[in-house]
Amino acid sequence: MVGKTQAQTSQRRTGNEPATTTRAELQVRQVASLDLPSTVEPLNTTVSVATGLSSARIGEGKRDCDRQAAIGRIPVVSKNGTPLMPCLASKARKLLEQGKARKYWNKLGIFGIRLNLDPKEPATQPLVVGIDPGSKFEGFSVVGTKDTVLNIMAEAVDWVKKAVERRREMRRARRFRNTRRRECRFDNRLARKTWLPPSTKARWDVKLRIVQQLHKVLPLTDAVVEDVRAETRKGQKKWNMNFSPIEAGKQYLYVGLKALGLRLTTVQGIVTKGLRDKLGLKKVKSKSKPVFASHCVDSWVLASSVSGAEFPTTENLYYLVPLQWHRRQLHRFEPSKGGQRSRYGGTMSLGLKRGTLVRHKKHGLCYVGGCMNGKLSLHDLSAGCRLTKTARITDLTRLTRVAFRPQFLSALKSGVPLR
């Protein structure tokens, strides 16, 4: 009887959502939508004519607006690349079927559509991106005046420091061997120049690149960042600006966000907690748990503090893992039999940049890895596992280049396997 009541409630809610809709009602309707995508299915892994937009079964002609809101919205760009307001999955499917748009993926691996024409007078509304920085995981949310466009939970880059140390050690070791090497540099070439440690720059560069890619497909107007404070000294301007990687990194991010034309707002952590408590949202203690309540809840309340949204219309999220490549090295670190060291590393495979998103005749949507004997390795877009290592370049259709592995996670289930 309860299931029948929920189904009737879902059927009645087919028009515009009333302004008095509560968060509890939204959760009841989301639970009642049993045909949402599976949590183990990524949003943009394979595309076929039979399933419409993606294997996650987005936009299959369902007319349930609650289901559409629970899934989220699809980014839309014009023919010349201008970001427009995102649309529902059903609308995107109609445009594709009518030949008015074509499929599009950005470097985050997020699916969208590109129109075959430029609207004469495109109408846009304010969209705010909230950023919750973290040491291991980070949260991003794009929120409008009412609807939540998307939520992103991304892993932070934490391997650069060890890679730089290993490179320095091997470079020094080669100076004592009869091999090609770079001459030692004694002069301080970075004096009186603004400089960030490579690990700090890489960590904050990821945040900036994610916002840059979102800005290319969504008409963002504002950015709200949770300000991270570090210890300072009174009257010591140089110390306060350069002593801490956190302080230097966040200033680097702020400059990059302003360069995009976004209005920047910073919020202290204690204020974020107050906003979260005021809206009745809870945060889980496990920071690594791939759910909305771990990081995206903070990024959402940050964005809603500027946009004016009252509650998250969807708690689904994209989980992004940065792709890591073995950069070109002079040779392998350890010699093989006979004392020979073969060349190693690189980011090109048979003329294709590694990480290029392609469509294979058999494996569908995947990205390019390494190569051997004139054959390519293809990897799954969500899990990163290798699908094949004997793919021919003639069997591929090149789409774009991705820098992250995206996975679409439904809010209706927990304990999602990420590997």
pLDDT along the chain (419 residues), means of 10: 43 39 43 33 33 34 39 86 92 94 92 91 90 93 93 94 89 82 74 80 94 96 89 67 75 94 93 92 90 94 94 92 87 84 86 93 93 93 92 93 90 41
Residues 220 and 111 placed together within one structural domain of the fold: yes
Q: Looking at residue 346, which CATH number applies to its domain?
A: 2.30.30
Q: State the Cα–Cα distance between residues 262 and 245, nearest whole angstrom.
A: 24
Residues 218 and 350 placed together within one structural domain of the fold: no
Per DSSP, 156 falls in state: P
Residues 310 and 380 placed together within one structural domain of the fold: no
User: Residue 173 phi/psi, 5° resolution?
Assistant: -65, -35
Residues 228 and 144 placed together within one structural domain of the fold: yes
Per DSSP, 184 falls in state: P
Residues 95 and 215 placed together within one structural domain of the fold: yes
Q: Looking at residue 91, which CATH number applies to its domain?
A: 3.30.420.40
* Per-residue confidence (pLDDT) for residue 10, from 0 to 100: 39
**Domain, as residue range, for 150:** 29-158+197-323+405-409
Q: State the Cα–Cα distance between residues 76 and 217, nearest whole angstrom.
A: 6
Q: Tell me if 397 is assigned to some domain.
A: yes
Q: Containing H/E element for 69?
A: helix 65-71
Q: Containing H/E element for 275?
A: helix 269-279
* Per-residue confidence (pLDDT) for residue 306, from 0 to 100: 95
Q: Tell me if 188 is assigned to some domain.
A: no
Reading the block at residue 321, the tokens are 């893992």
* Per-residue confidence (pLDDT) for residue 237, from 0 to 100: 66
* Per-residue confidence (pLDDT) for residue 99, from 0 to 100: 94
Pair type for strands 111-115 and 101-105: antiparallel
**What pTM value is reported for the model?**
0.77
Q: Tell me if 117 is assigned to some domain.
A: yes
Task: Report yes or no: 235 and 186 within 8 Å, Cβ to Cβ.
Answer: no
Reading the block at residue 27, the tokens are 């959760």
Q: State the Cα–Cα distance between residues 223 and 210, nearest whole angstrom.
A: 12
Residues 263 and 213 placed together within one structural domain of the fold: yes
3-state helix, strand, coil in the chain (%, to 5): 30, 25, 45
Q: State the Cα–Cα distance between residues 349 and 369, nearest whole angstrom.
A: 7
Residues 283 and 341 placed together within one structural domain of the fold: no
Q: Tell me if 85 is assigned to some domain.
A: yes
- Output the DSSP codes for 24-56: HHHHHHHHH-TTSPPTTS-TTS---TTTTT-TT
Residues 318 and 358 placed together within one structural domain of the fold: no
Q: How many separate helices (H) and strands (E) can be counted in the chain?
A: 10, 18
Q: Tell me if 130 is assigned to some domain.
A: yes
How many structural domains compose the chain? Answer: 2
Q: Tell me if 166 is assigned to some domain.
A: no
Reading the block at residue 143, the tokens are 């929120």
Q: Which residues of 18-46 are buried (b: 16+ CB within 10 A; e: fewer)?
A: eeeeeeebbebbbebbeebbebebbbbbb
User: Who contacts 165 (Cβ-Cβ below 8 Å, separation ≥6)?
Assistant: none
Secondary structure (3-state) at 191:
coil
User: Who contacts 404 (Cβ-Cβ below 8 Å, separation ≥6)?
Assistant: 107, 108, 109, 154, 320, 321, 322, 323
Residues 99 and 245 placed together within one structural domain of the fold: yes
Residues 295 and 343 placed together within one structural domain of the fold: no
Residues 354 and 235 placed together within one structural domain of the fold: no
Q: How many CB atoms lie within 10 A of CB 146?
A: 17
Beta bridge partners of 129: 142, 223
Q: Tell me if 383 is assigned to some domain.
A: yes
Residues 247 and 371 placed together within one structural domain of the fold: no
Q: Tell me if 136 is assigned to some domain.
A: yes
